[in-house]
Structures are given as C-alpha cells and as structure tokens.
Amino acid sequence: MRREFRLPDVGEGLTEAEIVRWHVQPGDEVKVNQIVVEIETAKSIVELPIPWAGVVAGLLAGEGETVDVGLPIIAVDTGAPDTGAPAAAEERPALAEDLVPNPPAEGAVEPGTHGSPAPKEERQAVLVGYGVKTGATKRRPRKSSAGPATPVANPERVEVAGSPALPSTGPAGGTTAEPGAAGLSRVSVLAKPPVRKLAKDLGVDLAGLTGTGPQGSITREDVHAAAGAEQAPQAIQAAQQPEERIPVKGVRKMTAQAMVGSAFTAPHVTEFLQVDVTETMEAVKRLRALPDFAEVKVSPLLLVAKAVLTAARRHPVINSAWDEAAQEIVVKHYVNLGIAAATPRGLVVPNIKSAHLLSLPDLATQLGQLAETARAGRTQPAEMAGGTITITNVGVFGVDTGTPILNPGEAAILAFGQVRDMPWVVDGELAVRKVTTLALSFDHRIVDGELGSLFLRDVGAMLEDPLRVLAWS
C-alpha cells in the first residue's frame, strides 16, 4: 500500500516551508517516527519524522523547494519491505502529538531542561525537532537486469526527481529510466556515497554525467572533470553579473516582517550608558577558576544576563507586554530571557525559560546550550516563543553600541557593546580601564524615561561592581 506524507503545520499558522535536506532516498527502509527530512519554517529548522514503516517510494519535493502546508512531500510503500525479513512487530502508528509539538505555556519549563524527566528509551516516538535521530537507513538489494557483471564495491543508486527520462542503457551506460512518483520521471545514477557527497559539495548534477567506472559508475575523476568544465563559465558569468538577488524566505522573511511590525507599532526610545566593567571582567576570570563552572563557558554576557534579571525584579514593569485588544499592560512576574543570535539563516531570538529562577552556574549552562543550538541551526519555534525581555550582544562583532529594535511582544531590549581599554577617571586620576557601552531600547507606551533610566542605571551599576548583584538579590 502506497501512502503519501503531507507537510504538517509544525508551528502556529504555518503556511509553507522549505525542504532543506532529505535524510532518505527512494528505496530506503524507514521505521515509525524515523527522521526523514529537515525543513525550514518561518522560524527555524525542524526535523520531521515519518508516521509509518515501509520503503520510500519517492520524494515528491526537492531540496530547496518551498512547499505549501498540506501538500505531499514523500511517498512510502507501507507493505512488507522486499528484504525477505518480516516487518518489526513492535512498530506502531505515530501519535499526532509525536509529530507536532505545542509551544509551552508562558513561564513553563521546556522538556529536558533542569528537573524534567528524560524520555523513556524504549519509546521511539520523536517530537519534531526535539527527539534523537535513529540509526542509518537500510537499502534494499539492487536488482541487476544484465546478468553477471564485474562487482562494484558498495555502489549506490541515486534517483533524481524531475530529470528527463533517459533510454535504458544497462550496466554499461550506468543509468536507467524509471517511473517516478506523481508522474515524474526519475533517472537512476550509479555512484558511491563519497562520490555523491563530492558532487553535492561541488554543485555537480550526477544525472548529467556518464560514468567511466565499473558498470558505468561515476567516479571522483568524473565529478572533478565536470566541476572543472563548469567553473570557468560560472566565473565569467559572476564577473559580468553586477547584482545578486537573494530570495527572502524562511527565518529571514519572518525576521523582516517582525522587525517592520515592531518598529512601526511600538514607539521606540533608546538610551545609552558607558560603563567601567573592569571589576566584571575580573569577576569573570575568578568564576572560570571555580569548580562550579568547570564544565561551562563563563563570559561577560553571563554577568550582564544576571544584572538584567536582577534589575527586572527591581523594576517589574520593564518586563511587560502591551495588550492592544484589551488596552492593558501585562506585567510578567517571570523572565523568559531572550538572547539574540546570528545564524547562517538569519537572526533568531531563543529564550531561556524561567531564567529568574536559575542559579548562576545553571544560567551559564543554559546560555551555552542556547548558543550551541543556535549556531547549529537547530533552534525550534517553542524555544523562541514567550520571550519577555532580550539581550543582544553586539560586542562580539567588535561594535560599541547600536539602537536595537524590540522583539515583538516585549517592552525592552538591551544591547551589550564590546569591552575595550579606554582612558577613565578613577578617584580623580586618569587610568586605563575596561569599558563598554550599554544601549536600552524600550516601548515608550509602557516604559517612560524615568523607568528606562533607572533600569539602565541599575544594570550599569551591577556591572561596575558585581557585589551589588548580591546586595540586590
């Protein structure tokens, strides 16, 4: 029985997503809840599991293609796989909640974070973007239609969707035309996995090559020769092309819409404060030497985050949201601390849930995990939902300061600039000190100049003298 898996709505109101990478190819065996594809939504990269066991009959959307929610993206033959072995008895249909996770309630703790139980090992259900990947896929034995021939070590057949059908040439030609899913013709290419990866890295289409290896298989030399032939025209074309157009989609599209909405909805005010952070930098060195921080990264951002959390408790209205429909200011007595992160796919702002409850070592751990996940492009929609106040660390780019735009739904965002040596007056004498510039943007409907100034002053004071964090905690 052939079944088609349709693109689900993995986020509230999702209408489309881009196919980033397939983890399977036609002919692969798949298990229930096995990750088969990565997609990019308007917010992040999400891994999708397949809800059935069987054999992949066809990929109905190519990598880089944008697909509307509800359209089929992969076809699976759910009959007994052609391996001579019975289907696994323990496999079961995937549950709906295994496919699409709901974002956590505001202030809730994410699954798998401090204190929450780990999933049971025997349960194979995988939440989208949260679960572990299964093992490598298995392929059915390739059937030869030409009788005995010289064996090829570990050859693999790659089916390319949408390519023009080629006449069957048998083993000598290395390609055969096969009917594809949904009326698409597919060309089967004989190549080893390392050769396939090389071709992908060099941007070479295997379907257009004639293999010179055994049984017509494509070799590394074939790929390099094709790449060399293509590079010269491409270089000439690039030199003659004065402009480049980059499609606005995925995370970048969502960020652009959110920033425009924020900039033209909330009246922004930005204040600046230059701070002597010599004592903070010294405190960072001392924390790094403590056993409690041996397994985590300690950076100045950790103490900035702690200062923001402490100042938000002293000035609760800074941690608020504007409810236009109800004409109310919603003061939140918990802090989901957002940390703006630049990724290859655009700006994302994941947040640390209930950051106000964390000890300093736990906060350091959460900051490290957040940064690692963002750099890997694995930040999930639920991890970006429900933020209450944000820090953007522009100092890592060598920038002194800026005027940050509010994350939608929040009342304040703090920019932390680079720390550098500067002349500073200390006790009436000139000295060289570690200095940074803080910039606080806030929604002037909620935060007036006095409140914004008091909050920024307190953050600066705690960075000048970290002992104030203890005094005000």
Active site residues: 444
| Strand (E) or helix (H) holding 351 | strand 351-352
Question: Starting from the edge strand earliest in sequence, which strands make up the sheet with 138-139, in order?
Answer: 2-6, 72-77, 54-59, 28-30, 138-139
Note the helical H segments in 264-359: 278-288, 300-314
CA distance linking residue 269 with residue 283, whole number of Å: 31
Q: How many C-beta atoms lie closer than 10 Å to residue 142's C-beta?
A: 11
CA distance linking residue 231 with residue 225, whole number of Å: 10
Location of structure tokens 């601390």? 337
Instruction: Look up residue 395 and give its two tokens.
Output: 């100092």
Residue 172 · residue 190 · CB < 8 Å = no
Phi, psi angles (nearest 5°) of residue 38: -110, 135
Between β-strands 72-77 and 185-191, what pairing exists: parallel, antiparallel or unpaired?
A: unpaired
Note the helical H segments in 111-219: 170-173, 193-202
Of residues 43, 68, 69, 73, the one with CA closest to residue 56:
73
Residue 249 · residue 341 · CB < 8 Å = no
Of residues 298, 322, 317, 390, the one with CA closest to residue 351:
390
Residue 360 · residue 288 · CB < 8 Å = no
- Hey, which residues does 76 pair with through a beta bridge? 3, 56
CA distance linking residue 17 with residue 11, whole number of Å: 10
Phi, psi angles (nearest 5°) of residue 18: -100, 135
Of residues 214, 82, 210, 81, the one with CA closest to residue 148:
214
B/e letters for 160-191, b = 16+ CB within 10 Å, e = fewer, are bbebeeeeeeebeebbbbbebbeebebbbbbb
